[in-house]
Amino acid sequence: MPDTRFITEFDQYLFGQGTHYDLYNKLGAHPMTVDGEEGVYFAVWAPNAEAVSLVGNFNEWDGNATPMERLEPLGIYEIFLPEMEIGDIYKYCVTTKAGYTILKADPYGFQAELRPNNASVIADISDFKWQDSRWMKKREKFDDKKDPMFVYEVHPGSWKKHEQTEEDVDGFYNYREMAHELAKYVKDMGYTHVELMGIAEHPFDGSWGYQVTNYFAPTSRHGSPEDFQYFINYLHQQNIGVILDWVPAHFPRDAFGLAEFDGTCLYEYADPRKGEHPDWGTKVFDYGKTEVRNFLICNALFWLEKYHVDGLRVDAVASMLYLDYGREDGQWVPNIYGGNENLEAIEFFKHLNTIVKKRNPGIVMIAEESTAWPKVTDKAEYGGLDFSLKWNMGWMHDFLEYMKLDPYFRKYNHTKMNFAMVYAYSENYMLVLSHDEVVHLKCSMIEKMPGSYEEKFKNLMAGYAFMTGHPGKKLLFMGQDFGQHREWSEERELDWFLLEKEPNHQLQLFVKELLHLYKSNKCLYEYDCWPEGFEWINADDGDRSIFSFVRHSASGKNNMLFVINFTPVERPDYRVGTTCRRKHTLVLNSDDKKFGGKGKRRPKEYKPVKKECDGRKYSIQYKLPAYGVAVFKF
């Protein structure tokens, strides 16, 4: 090695403090020229190892051939190898204090082999020519409280597949072709963002990407890192945001991964009562170690800054916050105050979210947090975790329980649909109907619905309309916008052939209409996080199972009145109160023939009359069909 090392004392100082936010530029494998010689510099953190060497095809995987040099005080091993090239594969051969050797993939490696192989691949991600400057400039001003967000959740491996052959047994789309196909669909439908499951490299398809072994490597199932950069770049050019699922809660035990990396519990808590998830069989990151926190925070920044990703949906937040999550008595250790809160994870979230937002204005940090933990989206200085948005799991559970009911019994469960407004502004919420709700015998969205085949589609249209009008940003899993009948499986593509069937096509058209209505009317998103944006007209019409409410815009113009009937009973003389006497224009009618309705002619404009209804001075009369949805603009 030259005297001037690539890893400096200052690098080690920042790493030890947990504040080396660009550490991925130092650790890992980096092509470079040293003293006029081209090669690759390697560096890995393994403080408790007896020795570390580099192995690969270049030295016939001989653990004695290429020893690395140890740097103190942090125990980083480094080496520069001339003539190594992009595309070469490698691992670290770690000799433990106990005297045995283990082969480990690079924790900071930018690329990994396609499973079942698991070596790291030398990659250079600095040469891609980004062409999304207009999007990135606009992103700086994005406000996740006031701007529209209707997210399309996608599992890239099963959204669409090629016909499987002997040469292509998986049928996976490449990132580049997926970019064009997906952007076309998302733009046509009207979604604002896509959220990608399973991008960081993982060995087991059935984990859906939630058991990560290579945190800095986009999965090779769909191509190279450059291909993934192209994917992001193209979606940005098409005015579509990209959110990634991110998993800092746990990692698998695979021998080549992070588990017992240097022969000791380096990345995980050493005490199994803190360091292992009994239900999942995975390891838990040690949030008390500055170097581990640094690894995770710089990984989040890596995706946001090097790949231009627009936000992260942080998986399994509750499992990180609670020391007793998924554990029985005797399986967990209380904190220093005797409580079940993981104080180290709390500080990690505050650090993560504040630095990420400071360095990247306009990005979105979303918490999948399933409990009543307070202040998830409040500022860190006020005692909050500083997330941008929180998945509203309470709304989701109540909504699905209500929608699954036979309409006759909905009147006895009316509060399931209006209860969420009691706490709607306690956090900044995102309403979600995610992949978790259409697997493991839970049924697809359409098959959750009661009634005849035709009624299932009418029910789901009413449910989606309620979701669109309800305060909160939105997320819908792929396939549910056209009524996929089978539960989702990562092993096959969506049942796109269903779009040849009239009911599925009509449902898709209805969702498309909702999405474009949503994006083009500020009243449906700019006041999501403030009570001024929503007003019940009648939240208590349980006997008829009808909900009516108004969404207000900040300007007072282009407000919307929603009326939704959740029973198969037609209400030809239905009267609904309204907030003013101005003309109301019917902008969405589920009884339209294109949505599978009867197509009865009805006026487009309605003038409120001075007739009390729902406690309002003015009201309009409307022939409300069975399972009818009517949206008026005024």
Look at residue 418 and tell me whether its pLDDT is greater than 70. Answer: yes
Which of 11, 227, 368, 526 is flagged as catalytic? 368
Q: How far is Cα 570 from Cα 557, in angstroms, rounded to an integer?
A: 31
Listed residue (565, 568, 340, 341) closest to 450, CA to CA: 568
Give yes or no for a contact between 442 and 449, defined as CB atoms under 8 angstroms apart: no
**pLDDT for res 433:** 98
Q: Which residue has the tokens 């991110």?
A: 246
Q: How far is Cα 179 from Cα 108, in angstroms, rounded to an integer?
A: 26
pLDDT tens per residue across span 493-509: 999 999 999 999 999 99
Mean pLDDT value of segment 10-18: 96
Listed residue (603, 625, 526, 535) closest to 142, CA to CA: 526
**pLDDT for res 3:** 37
**pLDDT for res 5:** 58
pLDDT tens per residue across span 229-287: 999 999 999 999 999 999 999 999 999 999 999 999 999 999 999 999 998 999 999 99
The answer to whether the Cα torsion of 573, 579, 584, 587 is positive or negative is negative
Q: How far is Cα 405 from Cα 398, in angstroms, rounded to an integer?
A: 11
**pLDDT for res 557:** 87
**pLDDT for res 4:** 43
Cα 608 to chain center, whole Å?
43
Collapsing DSSP to helix, strand or coil, 373 comes out as: coil
140 has catalytic annotation: no
Equal CATH topology for 9-121 and 531-633: yes
Give yes or no for a contact between 73 and 12, defined as CB atoms under 8 angstroms apart: yes
Residue ranges per structural domain of the chain: 9-121, 531-633
pLDDT tens per residue across span 558-580: 999 999 999 999 999 999 999 99
Range list of H helices, 323-444: 343-359, 393-404, 407-410, 415-418
Q: How far is Cα 367 from Cα 64, in angstroms, rounded to an integer?
A: 45
Count CA atoms closer than 13 A to 328's CA, side-chain side. 2
Find the helix or strand (DSSP H, E) in which 137 lies.
helix 133-139
DSSP states of 215-275: EEEE-GGG--HHHHHHHHHHHHHTT-EEEEEE--SEE---TTSSTTTTSS-SSB-SSHHHH
Q: Can you state the percent helix, strand and coil of the chain, rounding each to 5?
A: 30, 25, 45
Where b means 16+ CB within 10 Å and e means fewer, 337-350 reads eeeeebebbbebbb
pLDDT tens per residue across span 516-574: 999 999 999 999 999 999 999 999 999 999 999 999 999 988 999 999 999 999 999 99
Sequence-ordered list of residues with C-beta below 8 angstroms from that of 167, at least 6 positions apart, any chain: none
At 612, which amino acid appears? E
Q: How far is Cα 535 from Cα 554, in angstroms, rounded to an integer?
A: 13
Mean pLDDT value of segment 187-205: 97
Q: How far is Cα 181 from Cα 327, in angstroms, rounded to an integer?
A: 43
Band of the pLDDT at 452, cuts 50, 70, 90? very high
Structure tokens at 88: 């070469």
Which of 286, 310, 315, 481 is flagged as catalytic? 315
Look at residue 1 and tell me whether its pLDDT is greater than 60. Answer: no
315 has catalytic annotation: yes
Q: Which residue has the tokens 């896509």?
A: 194
Band of the pLDDT at 167, cuts 50, 70, 90? confident
Structure tokens at 319: 């499992």
Look at residue 2 and tell me whether its pLDDT is greater than 80. Answer: no
Average pLDDT taken over every residue of the chain = 96
Structure tokens at 522: 């500020």
Give yes or no for a contact between 521 and 633, defined as CB atoms under 8 angstroms apart: yes
pLDDT tens per residue across span 101-134: 999 999 999 999 999 999 999 999 999 999 999 9
Cα 472 to chain center, whole Å?
15
Structure tokens at 388: 């941008």
Sequence-ordered list of residues with C-beta below 8 angstroms from that of 60, at least 6 positions apart, any chain: none
Sequence-ordered list of residues with C-beta below 8 angstroms from that of 459, at least 6 positions apart, any chain: 403, 449, 450, 451, 566, 627
Look at residue 28 and tell me whether its pLDDT is greater than 80. Answer: yes
Mean pLDDT value of segment 208-212: 97
Structure tokens at 601: 């002619």
Listed residue (392, 399, 342) closest to 369, CA to CA: 392
pLDDT tens per residue across span 389-402: 999 999 999 999 99
Look at residue 69 and tell me whether its pLDDT is greater than 80. Answer: yes
DSSP states of 416-469: HHHGGGGSTTSS-EEEEE-GGGGSTTS--HHHHS-SSHHHHHHHHHHHHHHHHH
Q: Taking each helix axis from N to C terminus, what angle separates 290-306 and 343-359, rounded to the nearest 10 degrees?
A: 30
The answer to whether the Cα torsion of 88, 89, 94, 99 is positive or negative is negative
Superfamily of domain 9-121: Immunoglobulins (2.60.40.10)
Mean pLDDT value of segment 585-593: 97
**pLDDT for res 169:** 87
- 531-633: in CATH 1.20.1290.10: no
